[in-house]
Amino acid sequence: MAAHEGGTRYGRRAVLALGGLLAASCALPSAPADTAARDVRRLLDRRAAALLTRDRAAFLGVLAPGAQGLRSTQGEEFDHLAGVPLKDWAYRLTGIDRTGGTTVTARVELRHRIDRYDAVPAVSARRVDLVREDGQWYVTGDRPGRSGAQELWQQGPVTVARGRRSVVLGTGHSAERLRRIAEAADSAADAVARTWTRESTLKTVLLVPSSLTAMGALLGEPAAGYRGIAAVTTGAGDRGRRTSADRVIVNPEAYDVLGAVGRQVVLTHETTHVATRTDTTAATPMWLSEGFADWVAYRDSDRTPAQIAPELQRTVRREGPPAALPADEDFRFAGDADRLAGAYEGGWLACRMIVERKDVATLLEFYRTVGGHPQRDGAVEAALQRHLGTTPEEFTARWRTYVRDALG
């Protein structure tokens, strides 16, 4: 009994002592909350607002006072954007990495829209370095994300030319030259809208850097891979919606050597990619997306298959028709130029065959059905069965015969 009572008394003392410690701990000051994300987000919001209102002092005011090189660079970029008709400019904070006691790197999406032309923002990844001094955060660096791609306004003052359906932003080019490109882009959009009718209000934004090297910098890729490529289109979509606005990037060196017809074909091809963005998915093979864009571009042309597909014709006459439709890897810009040209031509002839054997409506529905499939496997098979009543093997055999008859 005594032992039991002693144990009870000991337990009471422990509870009382613990209660005293808890009371004491409640009286201690709590650790300050980490407000870095909130403070950085507010800083980036101020920076975005300053750019939209053209407040140069406020835009530069978020930079570290001693970062003179950064101030000079950022001031130039601010000035280069003076003529660009921006509707929106915002930074979306996606994460913060602690790099030191008072320094962080913010992972940011820069999101901007061109007024009257972009339905959704163009999105690019950035890394923004910041330091905390005297209770205030300041920007010490602003660089591209993993892709390493530049923005056009980082390459020089931006000149703007507006068309009916297009706006062209260029560096190192006269306003007159950009205006001519805008006129061709307008005609391209008209042609695409006549075919892809769900995009009757189609508008495009084109970027014209000063050189091939500058084009590579915009894409974050080696420029050599785009030599001879007159234009490319960037953008993103997911499950039937655009997630980043398209940009048609023109290679001025390759574009200049084309005649008027060639330039129109190039811009119509790229504009087709803009129009079909939400229907072109991971399920869509390259032969279909590129072949369809070429089919739209050449739809009103009076050129013969031999004139449009010279590389594939040489292959057919030398070796016979290809054994299979072009694979995705055949469309690599950095690969063999003849193989690349032949891949485009083969895709074009496949789309042309569908129209000749069926009609335009069938090609359009075939394209949308493939893109609407949940995955690559089975996408073409299902669309072929639904719209053409055939199998991939039968379709390939018919395409080989079609290619031979058209180019042999």
Dihedral angle, C-alpha 76, 78, 79, 84, nearest 10 °: 130
Among the candidates 116, 148, 180, a domain finishes at 148
pLDDT category of residue 363 using cuts at 50, 70 and 90: very high
Buried b (16+ CB within 10 A) or exposed e, 210-238: bebebbbbbbebebeebbebbbbbbbebe
Instruction: Note whether residue 23 is domain-resident.
Output: no
Residue with tokens 């054997």: 357
> Is there a domain that residue 12 lies in?
no
In terms of domains, do 234 and 311 share one? no
Contact 51, 14 (CB under 8 A): no
Residue 33: strand, helix, or coil: coil
C-alpha triplet 329, 335, 339: angle, nearest 5°: 75
2 within domain boundaries: no
C-alpha torsion angle, residues 292, 293, 299, 302 (rounded to 10):
-110
Q: What is the distance between the alpha carbons of residues 84 and 158, in angstroms, rounded to a whole number? A: 7
Instruction: Identify which has the larger pLDDT, 369 or 18.
Output: 369
Position 124 scores a pLDDT of 95
What is the model's pTM?
0.89
pLDDT band at 147 (very low <50, low <70, confident <90, very high): confident
pLDDT tens string 12-21: 333 333 344 3
The CATH number that applies at residue 257 is: 3.40.30
Q: Say which amino acid occupies 207.
A: L
Shared domain for 117 and 234, answered yes or no, is no
Give the residue from 211, 242, 274 where a domain finishes. Answer: 274
Instruction: With a cut of 90, say whether residue 240 has pLDDT above it.
Output: no
Domain count, the chain: 3
104 and 180 in a single domain? The answer is no
**Cβ-based burial of 81 (10 A; exposed 0-12, middle 13-18, buried ≥19):** buried
User: Computed over its alpha carbons, how large is the radius of gyration of the chain?
Assistant: 29
* 109 lies in the same domain as 158: no
Q: 102 and 66 share a domain?
A: yes
pLDDT reading at 345 higher than 50: yes
Residues 366 and 381 sit within 8 Å (Cβ to Cβ): no
| CB within 8 Å of 132: residues ≥ 6 apart | 36, 102, 103, 138
The pLDDT assigned to 34 comes to: 73
Residues 176 and 216 in one domain: yes
* Gap between the Cα atoms of 402 and 117, Å rounded: 40
Q: Are 344 and 390 contained in the same domain?
A: yes
Q: Residue 62 sits in which domain range?
A: 36-148
Is residue 339 located within the same domain as residue 249?
no
Q: How far apart are CA 163 and CA 356, in angstroms?
A: 34
Evaluate whether residue 100 is within a structural domain.
Answer: yes
Bridge partner list, 244: 236
Is the residue at 13 inside a domain? Answer: no
Q: What is the DSSP string of 244-288?
A: EEEEEEE-HHHHHTS-HHHHHHHHHHHHHHHHTGGG--TTS-HHH
Whether residue 401 is contained in a domain is answered as yes
pLDDT at 379 over 80: yes
What tens digit of pLDDT does each residue of 23-40 get?
333 443 333 457 999 999
Is 298 in the same domain as 232?
Answer: no
Mean pLDDT over 344-373 rounds to 98
Domain boundary among 274, 293, 319: 274
Question: Are 343 and 245 members of one domain?
Answer: no
In this structure, are 324 and 359 located in the same domain? Answer: yes
pLDDT digits (tens, 9 = 90+) for 155-166: 999 999 999 999
**pLDDT for 92-106, tens place per residue?**
999 999 999 899 999
Residue whose tokens read 């769900």? 198
The length of the chain is: 408
Tokens of 278: 């939400």
Distance CA 182, CA 164 (A): 8
Q: Say if 28 falls within a structural domain.
A: no
